[in-house]
């Protein structure tokens, strides 16, 4: 699997509803890109979820060649949270392949909105991560509505869907295929293509019949109590 085929644009912005597994996907994507490209940066801008922060894997990422930048945890309750000046490097240095992990609600999306002019001037893609097991986005109508809300708040246009349907340690092939069906329906409704289906390595062989790419991951993000 070629990660660059998923990240065909220089900047990939990962968004979606809270709990869809955006950060797990973003971390694995950045690690895969680092095996194929020089100058990979991952920006942890998720101010919504206190449990899954890519900065908790800072050593793993930087050992793999991924430069990690993150928002200030001390300001996560602010209407306009503090963001690192390093973030501008992703927009301004066109040698960098950037992955931005964005919070999954209107507050998180608003962080991105202030960078709209800079982002639109660059080669970017807004990726919407779907998890068919999240109650708020398990139907086509709800998933599309949430997607359109993110587009409205950020002022950006989504150009790719990612199926990341899982049940943590209880994930089965059937769950991933349920997500594939939802993603296909959302794709037909919106005209936005499916970039990939996310699955742990052990599921990859049995999903080879899916028409889109299967992106193999290793679970990197654990709950604090695990």
Residuewise pLDDT in 10s, the chain (226 residues): 678 788 889 999 999 988 898 989 999 999 999 999 999 999 988 766 555 567 678 889 999 999 999 865 544 444 445 677 788 899 999 999 999 998 766 667 787 888 889 999 999 999 999 999 999 999 999 999 999 999 998 999 999 999 999 998 889 999 999 999 999 999 999 999 999 999 999 999 999 999 999 999 998 876 544 4
Sheet containing strand 158-163, strands side by side: 66-70, 40-45, 97-102, 11-16, 124-130, 158-163, 194-200, 214-217
* Contact indicator for 31, 58 with CB cutoff of 8 Å: no
Provide CB contacts within 8 A for 4, sequence distance 6+: 33, 36, 37
Distance, CA of 163 to CA of 176 (rounded, Å): 8
**pTM, entire model:** 0.90
3-217 maps to CATH 3.40.50.300: yes
């Amino acid at each position: 699997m070629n990660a660059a085929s998923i990240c065909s644009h220089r900047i990939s912005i990962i968004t979606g509803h809270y709990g869809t597994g955006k950060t797990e996907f973003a971390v694995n994507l950045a690690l895969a890109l680092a095996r194929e490209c020089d100058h990979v940066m991952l920006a942890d801008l998720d101010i919504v979820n206190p449990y899954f922060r890519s900065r908790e894997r800072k050593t793993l990422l930087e050992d793999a060649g991924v430069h990690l930048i993150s928002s200030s945890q001390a300001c996560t309750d602010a209407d306009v949270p503090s963001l690192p000046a390093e973030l501008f490097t992703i927009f301004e240095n066109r040698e960098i392949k950037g992955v931005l992990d964005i919070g999954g609600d209107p507050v998180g999306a608003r962080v991105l909105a202030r960078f709209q002019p800079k982002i639109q001037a660059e080669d970017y893609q807004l990726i919407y991560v779907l998890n068919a097991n999240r109650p708020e986005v398990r139907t086509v109508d709800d998933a599309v509505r949430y997607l359109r809300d993110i587009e409205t708040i950020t002022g950006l246009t989504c150009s790719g869907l990612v199926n990341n349907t899982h049940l943590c340690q209880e994930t089965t092939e059937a769950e991933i295929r349920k997500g594939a069906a939802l993603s296909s329906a959302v794709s037909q409704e919106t005209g936005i293509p499916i970039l990939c289906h996310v699955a742990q390595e052990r599921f990859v062989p049995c999903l080879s019949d899916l028409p889109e790419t299967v992106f193999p991951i290793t679970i990197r993000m654990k709950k604090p109590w695990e």
